[in-house]
Structure 1
Amino acid sequence: MAKLTKSKFSLQILTVFLISLSCLEPSQCLKSEVEALLEFKKLITDPLKHLESWKDSDSPCRFYGIHCDQEMVTGISLDNLSLSGQISPSLSALHGLTSLVLTSHSLMGPLPAELSKCLSLKVLNVSGNYLSGSVPDLSMLTNLEALDLSLNSFTGPFPGWVGSLTGLVSLVLGQNSYDEDEIPPSIGKLKKLQWLFLANSSLRGEIPESIFELEALGTLDICINKITGRIPASIAKMRRLFKIELYMNNLTGEIPAGVANLTDLEEFDVANNQMYGVIPEEIGRLKKLTVFHLFKNNFSGEIPSGFGEMQRLNAFSIYKNAFTGVFPQNLGRFSALNSIDISENRFSGPFPKYLCQGKNLQNLLALGNDFSGEFPDSYGDCSPLQRLRISQNRLKGSVADRVWALPNVQVMDFSDNGFTGRVSPSIAASLQLTELMLSNNRFSGELPQELGRLGLMERIYLDNNNFSGGIPSQLGALKQISSLHLEGNALSGSVPAELTNCPRLVELNLASNQLSGGIPRSFSNMASLNSLNLSRNQLTGPIPEDFDRIRFSSVDLSNNRLSGSVPPYFAMVAGDKALVGNDGLCLDEDEEQKRKFTDSALPVCVHQGNGHKSLTRSKLAMLCIVVVALIVFLVGLLFVSYRNFKKGEADWRMRDEKGVLGPWKLESFQQVEFDVDDIHGVDEDNLIGSGSTGKVYRLDLSKGCGTVAVKQLWRGNGVKLMAAEMEILGKIRHRNILKLYACLMKEGSNFLVFEYMSNGNLFQALHREIKPGKPELDWYQRYKIAVGAAKGIAYLHHDCSPAIVHRDIKSTNILLDEDYEAKVADFGVAKVADPSSPKGSEWSNFAGTHGYFAPEMAYSLKVTEKSDVYSFGVVLLELVTGRRPVEEEYGDGKDLVYWVSTHLGSREDVIKVLDRKAVPEPVQDDAIKVLKIATLCTTKLPNLRPSMKEVIKMLVDAEPGAGLRSPDSVGRNDKGLCLDHF
């Protein structure tokens, strides 16, 4: 070994000596290194100006991020500086380079194969970029000790040559899109390897036995793949392992008892597999264990009692298994447990009382078991607790005042138990509370007025209890509340008009109580209200006339004592079922014709005199005149457009060899070489699309200059649309915005030249199949497309000044390149937002596509960026469901947003929404997270929708597999959208 080290050292000395001989003088070496670094800089965009210090007049050793040894560049360390561009092959000229670190940027393109010439490299880390293409063969870099290519977009074969880099201590290749392949057994040759990260690398088959010979390995991470087979007993030989991450694969079999011999083991995660059997009793003796995750498998039996003696256990998640018996009562007693999820098992007996003994517990999730007895009062001292969900058990008794008053709790879920007693006024201390779920218990007493002090509250579910007294008017102070369910109690008194002051209230259910008095007329002003249920009460008086203003998707006023005429539009939306049991209601006389369509059982109202009737008929006649005039106008417009279209086609086919039409006028926006005659000679055989603005052709440029897309615009509006695209696309640059290369104009002909997107548009890709039953886009590709499109739109909204509103976001306007990178296209109707108007700009021409319209487009021409957010939400729904925005199945006048909204009542319903062909069970929870983002984007009120920056943050959190390491990341919300145990 000493001889080998001495030989290696001599070789390095010789290499440096030869390099020095290659330069006639030291300054010449420095000059070549400066040139190499400046070539690298040329291909880089540096928005934060960190590379401004790189000047040809300076020594490279003074450059930012450059490290030298004896005036030779040995290291480049540029981390998280928002760089974009490509990595230049010129870096291969840095013969003394031992470390190249370019992490967490937006670098694109290939990893230069020329880097294999940097024979001194010990560290190569380019993680967290958008590098693509195949990974070049770097097997010549025999000095490499750390190789990190993770979190990029590499494709092609998995780099099996890494087995020859026997000096590697750290091998990190995961989070890329390699071709599906098996783990190369040659990795077992890397005897020095301490860290192996192959997560999310399209790997299949079994783990090679050779890997279990890596006795120096500390971290084994092969999660989020398609690995099959069992965990072999030989894993016990890897005595230095402290982290095992094998979650989200297709592993079967039992946990080997030999795992208990890994005495340094700190983290063990085999969640989301198909494993079964009992937990070996010996594992309860692992003293250093901090994280233990088995959720979503088929394990059974009891939890070893040894877990109750552990002193370092921090996260324990075993939900969705079949564990039984009494849960270890001491678990958490001697450790600072932070998060525990034991939901959806079959635990019985008393509820464990020491889980927060260490005063560190933030998440306590135990729903869906068979615990009985009272909930321990000791949890009232658990001040760090943020999420408390113990629903669907057999717990009883009252909840201690101290528990109601937990200062940091955000979610409190006691639903579906047998609890009694009151909700304590001390709940006023829970100022962080956003969700209070007490459904289906036997709570009683009056609702505390202190609920109105919880300013962050979003959802209250107190249905099916024994609450009495009035509804506190103080609830009107809850500015964030979206859902209020008080049905199925014994509440009395009037419906508080103060609820009108809740600007975000979407769902209000007060059914099956003893409420009296009238429906507050002010409810007509609740623009956000979408679902209203006041049925089975004792309400009197009329339905407010202005209820016509509210566009309900669900309403029920049945079985009350309401009287008077029903507002016309409301009668049509509500239907008879929502109005039955109110003997005093009647249809307005002018609604008689509506009977032909609804067969309403309500009687016709009797009016004194005909004045009212005459006035209504006059209004109806005026409306008919306006409609007829509008139809005539549209028909005429279509006729003119058709003539222009035919004339445009005729002109297009004209060829005048003598140049009668005059010379071409060219305006170039980005560098691309092409001959004008190429554009003029596009062939109909290369037609790839045709729409309302023109035809699009695929064109292979002469001289091997690549391929472009050419849009020939129709006459008429074509010039205006061309001007709009030139105005916007000519100025902006972003990787997720389609590039406009040039514009060509000639009398009678107008062309736009774009970059060519080989995979067409998203709509086409969603509905293409590689083979019957197998869609072209899997969930990982769909997620990548969602993030890319979101970044493009966010750039328009947040990075352009003033902001740009696209106004026609849809799946056909999201184009896909060869790597399925998404790019937003078609800016013909886009507008620059008016920065001086806080409510957006008012444009006279309507834009958009049916199925993607934001609701406010129906009543206002004031459009803001939030209309794009709504349309993007529809695109997300397309990605999640695989469905079209408008289908007959949704119902007359209904769209995808409506259809999805009818499937959010339970997890089973939500699963039915997902595109089963592209969203297999292992990624269902990730797809559900994206579904939630889509529902937020398509909220009816614009001000309730997130910004595109916020959308990107949420999408990052929904990355496939990203939440699986969290012990409480997946589960369900029984009252609404199935998302997680939160």
Structure 2
Amino acid sequence: MQNVTHQIQVDCDHGIRRIVGTGAVRIFAALALLVSIFTSMSLAQARPPDSEIYALETIGTSLNAYTTTGSSVWNNHHGWSTNTPPDDPCEGAWFGVQCDAGNHHIVGIVIPNNNVHGTLPDATVWANLPQLLYISLNNDFISGTIPDLSVLPNLLDFSIIGDSDVFGQFPAYLTGSIPSLAALTQLQTLRIGSNHLTGSIPDLSTLTNLQTIDVSSNQLTGTIPDLTNNTQLSLVSFRNNYLTGSLPALAQITFLMRFEAGGNYLTGTIPPIVSLQYLSRFYVNNNQLTGPMPDIHNMPAMNDLNLSYNQLSGPIECLGVAAPCSSGLSQLIAIDVSRNQLGGPFPTLDGLGNLQYFKVSYNRITGPIKAMPAQQQQMISEVCPNPMNLTAQPGIDDYWPSTIQGNPNPWWGPAGAYNSCDLILRAEFD
């Protein structure tokens, strides 16, 4: 009886195990099927919405990415096609198209230097790309106007710098005015230089993340906007326009590295810049600025300063290390303050071991000239005309050689002629 009971127990255990085993297999198979289904669904969804793809096709058509024959003037148009239904631009690796990590959205159209010709479609097309972060068509041939960019609230970079042909002309360029940028609060880079844009520069106060703005070489009018809120700027270029008014305050832009506003009609004085310890290039030449030179005595990054062709007055102070100045301009390579009304004594150049270009001609500098430091003998310089008295300068020829790279040194003149700047042979180095 005991043996029978044991056998029944064994049979039951085996049966249960068989049942449980069969169920486990079925459950595992069901789970595998579900995983497969969800994976397939996920893969099917890992593609931008059709609205984004069709918007991209419309942009490609507007920029002549393809013609009816499938050819293109682009240097590279890989992936751009008129297939129906359209290919996945993320999986198909359309040239210049960037997608997010999950291939769910188009985030960039980056096609610089690609011989792209055409116009930008209107805002209704761009509105279908709400996740777009980057638009870069630099050095292509884009014409027409800039669309309303407020439909792209996440945009970080808008760059369409014009290109020119071998004759220096612009066969295609942006025209019209710059639209409002107020809604682009995430924008970091705006580069639309070398076009034919007109009108004024829009308000920038809401663009607190802006790091680069280049609107140079256009036909813009009006004033330079206030930059109080744009404290993240590092590169600013307003040069070669028709801008009027005064220069904006700059001291609050702590990380500013490059500021260009030359070639305009700006008036007033140059704002303080001495606190900008990262500033390396400062160009405000060819304006109508008045007042003194800005204090630059302790700017360790400064290497290129151009204040020429203005109406600046007062002395040239604190270039070298003579008291009360310091050696804070040790990286200075070029300085041009020519064509102003600067006076006072000739500045010392001691401590400026990297200086290569020095232009102070057409000013009112007086007094004796300082000897040329030996380490600067190959410097290209232009100091005349100025009403300087150059008498009693023994040995000056030892410091200022008669020629530099085959050009007459503007300091050099016949022996014994050092009594007037007018008697020194001068070479122009424009």
Using the size of structure 2 for normalisation, the TM-score is 0.70
CA offsets 1:461-502 (integer angstroms, 9 cap, x no match): 0000000011122x22211101100011011112211x3244
CA deviations on 1:491-518 (whole Å, 9 max, x unpaired) are 1112211x32443642011011011124
- Pairing partner for 1:368 from 235, 240, 249: 240
Alignment-derived partner of residue 157 in structure 2: 291
Aligned CA distance change for structure 1 residues 289 and 255 (closer, same or farther; 3 Å): same
Q: Does residue 395 in structure 1 map to residue 262 in structure 2?
A: no
Match of 1:417 in 2: 287
Q: 1:466 to 1:406 in 2, by over 3 A?
A: same
**1:563 touches 1:582 (CA, 8 Å); kept in 2?**
no
Deviations 1:259-287 (A, max 9, x none): 23200000011121112101112x23311
Decide whether the 8 Å contact of 2:263 with 2:285 is kept in 1.
yes
Residue of structure 2 aligned with 1:345, choices 204, 218, 225? 218
Q: CA RMSD in A?
A: 3.9
The aligned residue for residue 441 of structure 1 is 310
- The superposition leaves residues 652-697 of structure 1 with CA deviations (integer Å, 9 ceiling, x where unpaired) of xxxxxxxxxxxxxxxxxxxxxxxxxxxxxxxxxxxxxxxxxxxxxx
Is the 8 Å Cα contact of residues 79 and 94 (structure 2) preserved in structure 1? Answer: no
Q: Is 1:220–1:241's contact at 8 Å kept on the other side of the alignment?
A: no
Conservation of the 8 A alpha-carbon contact between 1:216 and 1:240: no
Amino acid at match of 1:437: N
Contact 1:397 1:421 in 2 (8 A): yes
- On the 8 A contact 2:220/2:241 being kept in 1, the answer is yes
SS in 2 for 1:347: coil
Task: Count matched residues.
Answer: 341
Q: Does 1:255 align with 2:255?
A: no
> Deviation at 1:447?
0.7
1:278–1:219: structure 2 CA closer, same or farther, 3 Å change rule? farther
Preserved contact between residue 239 and residue 263 of structure 1 (Cα < 8 Å): no
Distance (Å, rounded) in 1 between the aligned partners of 2:192 and 2:216: 7
Residue 381 (structure 1) aligned to one of 228, 236, 252: 252
| Alignment CA distance shift 1:552-1:260 (3 Å) | same
Q: Which residue type is aligned with residue 508 of structure 1?
A: S
Q: Does 1:308 align with 2:182?
A: yes
Q: Does 1:482 align with 2:348?
A: no
From 296, 299, 302, the equivalent of 1:430 is 299
Q: 1:220 to 1:341 in 2, by over 3 A?
A: farther
- What residue ranges of structure 2 are gaps of 5+ in the alignment? 1-28, 37-64, 69-73, 98-102, 164-172, 322-326
Q: CA contact under 8 A between 2:337 and 2:359: conserved in structure 1? A: yes
Cα separation, 1, equivalents of 2:158 and 2:81: 24
Amino acid at match of 1:310: L
Pairing 1:838-917 to 2, within 5 Å after superposition: none
Matches within 5 A, 1:465-504: 465-473=340-348, 475-497=349-371, 499-503=372-376
The change in CA–CA distance for 1:551 and 1:450 in structure 2 (over 3 A counts) is closer
- The residue type paired with residue 441 of structure 1 is N
Q: Distance in 1 between matches of 2:362 and 2:275?
A: 26
Unaligned 5+ segments in structure 1 are: 10-181, 186-200, 224-230, 232-237, 530-546, 567-579, 586-901, 906-974, 976-982
Tell me: CA distance 1:412–1:505, structure 2 relative to 1, closer, same or farther (3 Å): farther
| Partners of 2:291 and 2:106 in 1: CA distance | 51
Counterpart in 2 of 1:457?
332
% of aligned pairs identical?
Answer: 20
Separation in 2, partners of 1:366, 1:219: 40
* Structure 1 pair 581–359 and aligned structure 2 pair: CA distance change class (3 A): closer
* Distance in 1, Cα, partners of 2:176 & 2:93: 27
Identify which of structures 1 and 2 has the higher relative contact order when contacts are C-alpha pairs closer than 8 Å and 6+ apart: 2
Q: Provide the residue aligned with 1:275 in structure 2.
A: 142
Q: Aligned pair in 2 of structure 1 residues 334, 559: CA closer, same or farther (>3 Å)? A: closer
Q: Partner letter of residue 142 of structure 2?
A: M
Change over 3 Å in CA distance of 1:358–1:221 after alignment to 2? farther
- Contact kept? 1:374, 1:397, Cα under 8 Å: yes
CA 1:557–1:251: 2 relative to 1, 3 Å: closer
Residue 335 of structure 1 and its aligned partner are, at CA, apart by 2.8
Amino acid aligned to 2:332 = M
Once residues 221 and 372 of structure 1 are traced to their aligned partners in structure 2, the CA distance between those partners, rounded to angstroms, is 44
Q: How does 1:536-575 map to 2 (within 5 A)?
A: 547=401, 552-555=405-408, 564=416
Structure 1 CA distance for aligned equivalents of residues 339 and 422 of structure 2? 22
> 1:217 aligned to 75, 90, 99, which one?
90
- Pairing 1:264–2:117 present: no
CA contact (8 A) 2:205 2:230 kept: yes
Residue 309 of structure 1: how far off its partner (Å) = 2.6
> Residue 565 and residue 422 in structure 1: after superposition, are their counterparts in 2 closer, same or farther (change >3 A)?
closer
Partner amino acid for 2:118? Answer: G
Deviation string for 1:768-815 (max 9, x for gaps)? xxxxxxxxxxxxxxxxxxxxxxxxxxxxxxxxxxxxxxxxxxxxxxxx
Query: 2:366–2:388: 8 Å Cα contact kept in structure 1?
Result: yes
Equivalent residues of 2:217, 2:240 under 8 A apart: yes
SS in 2 for 1:253: strand
Amino acid at match of 1:554: N
SS at match of 1:468: strand
Q: Which residue identity does 1:386 align to in structure 2? A: M
CA contact (8 A) 1:349 1:370 kept: yes
Mark the CA change 1:492 to 1:221 in structure 2 (over 3 Å): closer, same or farther.
Answer: farther
Q: Distance in 2 between matches of 1:554 and 1:482?
A: 15
